[in-house]
Amino acid sequence: MKKNDVKRQLSEAISACQAKKAEDITILELEKGSGAFTDYFVICSGTNPRQIQAISDEVEDRLEQSKLRPAHVEGYRQAEWVLLDYIDFVVHVFSEKSRRFYDLERLWKSAKRLQPADLARTKTRRAREPSKRRLRA
C-alpha cells in the first residue's frame, strides 16, 4: 500500500481514538530493520472496559468506511488490551494498568515517535504547470 494511503488511514484511526476520548495517544514508526511485523503502532488508553471497547469499535467503524478491515482482533472481550491489526499498522487500546505493565513505548524505544500533526504533512502532489519549451529558430 502507498505510504500516503497508510498515513491517511492512520490519521483516521487516530481521529476515531480522539472522538472516543482516548488518553495519551502515541504513534510509533517502527524501524525497517528492527524485525517489526508492521510499520506503525498507534497506542492509546481508555479509563474503563466500556470505553476501551468503544474506542476499538470506533476505529473499526471508521476504517471500514474506507473498506479496510482488521486482519486480526485480540482482547476485545476482556477489554484490558485490544489489538487491531491492519497489517501496515496496529492499533493498541489499553487499560491504564495494562499499558504501564506492557510498556510498548519502552519495548520499542528505538521507534520514531510521531505526533498526529506529522501524519497530516503527507506530501500532496500538485498538478505540474506545463513546461515552457524554448522555440528554436
67-97 per-position pLDDT tens digit: 999 999 999 999 999 999 999 999 999 999 9
Compute the distance between CA of residue 23 and CA of residue 36 in angstroms, rounded to an integer.
25
5-62 per-position pLDDT tens digit: 888 999 999 999 999 999 999 999 998 766 678 999 999 999 999 999 999 999 999 9
pLDDT of 129 reads 41
Average pLDDT for the chain:
86
> 102, 41 in Cβ contact below 8 A?
no
| 97 contacts: CB under 8 Å, gap ≥ 6 | 80
- DSSP reduced 3-state for 92: strand
Banded model confidence at residue 136, pLDDT cuts 50, 70, 90: very low
Enter the CATH code of domain 3-117.
3.30.460.10
Query: What are phi and psi for residue 90, nearest 5 degrees?
Result: -125, 130
Q: Can you give the pTM of this predicted structure?
A: 0.83
Domains of the chain, by residue range, sit at 3-117
3-16 per-position pLDDT tens digit: 678 889 999 999 99
As a dihedral over the C-alpha atoms of residue 118, residue 121, residue 122, residue 128, rounded to 10 degrees, the angle is -170
In the chain, alpha helices (H): 3-19, 49-64, 96-102, 104-107, 116-120
